[in-house]
């Protein structure tokens, strides 16, 4: 898969930097002989999800692990029929990993807000419930909520490309003969600060998918801090325009310089845009 280069870049949101919060986005990329992978995740950030930065990192690591394994298993011929099983494997591994992290490093001194799972903060949150209520028996508490995160993962193989997603954020792809498209179906349950999540009861069933036998010229995925930096009206048009500029700059400046300039741009984007953490990862075709 040497004809493609993958990249990933995450930047702390301007509002998070001011308040002293950690970056709750995470992104990864990976390539081998079978597949090129790009992944982004967005931890929810409210007090109830006080380990969502860890949850986002674990989500990206699980996605890369299982996409690479599935590409090896199917010889790079991953299609839409394999994606539900892939999603369930990612979700199951994430669940095991966060449970292990909780057991290895149990939290101490939870604030009342964290313990109750209630928050008035304008951060993304799942339904506020007594997630970690100290009145509950310890064995009945659900540590997954503390790590809640979205996930978008995409891969390019010899047989085409595929994407899978839970939660918000956007995936945009361009083929050699056309403009950028956003083909992964949208989930109407993702609205304002509410999103589907890996910490849901059955996250494997909430993933959306897309696969195509067409070989892409460029593919970009971004957390909602990116698309929320542009007006709601014609948001897709604005976002596709951004990715077109990024792709053109990779072509003009070369991959290494283009990536450096993109990573320099992201702090400007969050400062002038959403104020949220921003992550962009992608896969671009390069000259042999």
Q: How far is CA 92 from the centre of its chain?
A: 17
pLDDT in tens, 162-181: 999 999 999 999 999 889 99
75-81, long-range: CB < 8 A, 24+ apart: 75/34, 76/34, 76/35, 76/157, 76/158, 76/159, 77/157, 77/158, 77/159, 78/35, 78/155, 78/157, 78/159, 78/162, 78/211, 79/159, 79/160, 79/162, 79/211, 80/162, 80/209, 80/210, 80/211
Share of the chain above pLDDT 90, in %: 78
- CATH number, domain of 257, equals 3.60.40.10
Q: Does 288 have pLDDT greater than 60?
A: no
Domain count for the chain, please give it. 1
Note down the domain range covering 72: 4-285
Q: What is the mean pLDDT of the chain?
A: 89
pLDDT for residue 268:
98
Quote the Cα angle for 271-243-255, to 5°: 95
Tell if the pTM clears 0.75, that is, is over it.
Answer: yes
pLDDT in tens, 83-123: 999 999 999 999 999 999 999 999 886 654 554 444 444 45
pLDDT in tens, 265-283: 999 999 999 999 999 999 9
Q: Does 137 have pLDDT greater than 90?
A: no
Q: Does 75 have pLDDT greater than 50?
A: yes
pLDDT in tens, 223-274: 999 999 999 999 999 999 999 999 999 999 999 999 999 999 999 999 999 9
The residue to which tokens 């059955």 are assigned: 202
pLDDT for residue 191:
87
pLDDT in tens, 15-62: 999 999 999 999 999 999 999 999 999 999 888 999 999 999 999 999
């Amino acid at each position: 898969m040497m004809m493609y280069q993958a990249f990933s870049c995450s930047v702390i949101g301007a509002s998070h930097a001011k308040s002293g919060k950690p970056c709750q986005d995470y992104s990864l990329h990976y390539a081998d002989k079978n597949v090129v992978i790009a992944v982004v995740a967005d931890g929810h950030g409210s007090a109830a999800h006080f380990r969502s930065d860890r949850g986002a990192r674990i989500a990206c690591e699980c996605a890369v692990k299982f996409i690479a394994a599935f590409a090896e298993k199917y010889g790079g011929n991953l299609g839409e029929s394999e994606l539900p099983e892939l999603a369930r494997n990612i979700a199951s591994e994430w669940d095991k990993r966060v449970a292990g992290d909780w057991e290895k490093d149990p939290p101490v001194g939870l604030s009342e807000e964290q313990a109750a799972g209630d928050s008035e903060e304008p951060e993304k949150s799942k339904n506020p419930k007594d997630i970690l209520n100290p009145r509950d028996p310890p064995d009945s508490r659900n540590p997954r909520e503390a790590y809640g995160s979205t996930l978008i993962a995409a891969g390019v193989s010899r047989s085409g490309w595929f994407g899978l997603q839970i939660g918000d954020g956007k995936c945009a792809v361009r083929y050699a003969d056309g403009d950028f498209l956003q083909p992964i179906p949208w989930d109407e349950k993702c609205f304002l600060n509410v999103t589907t999540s890996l910490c849901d009861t059955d996250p494997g069933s909430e993933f959306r998918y897309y696969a195509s036998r067409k070989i892409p010229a460029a593919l970009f995925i971004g957390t909602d801090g990116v698309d929320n930096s542009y007006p709601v009206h014609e948001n897709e048009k604005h976002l596709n325009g951004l990715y077109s500029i990024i792709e053109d700059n990779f072509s003009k400046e070369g991959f290494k310089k283009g990536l450096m300039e993109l990573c320099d741009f992201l702090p400007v984007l969050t400062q002038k845009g959403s104020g949220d953490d921003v992550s962009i990862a992608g896969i671009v075709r390069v000259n042999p």
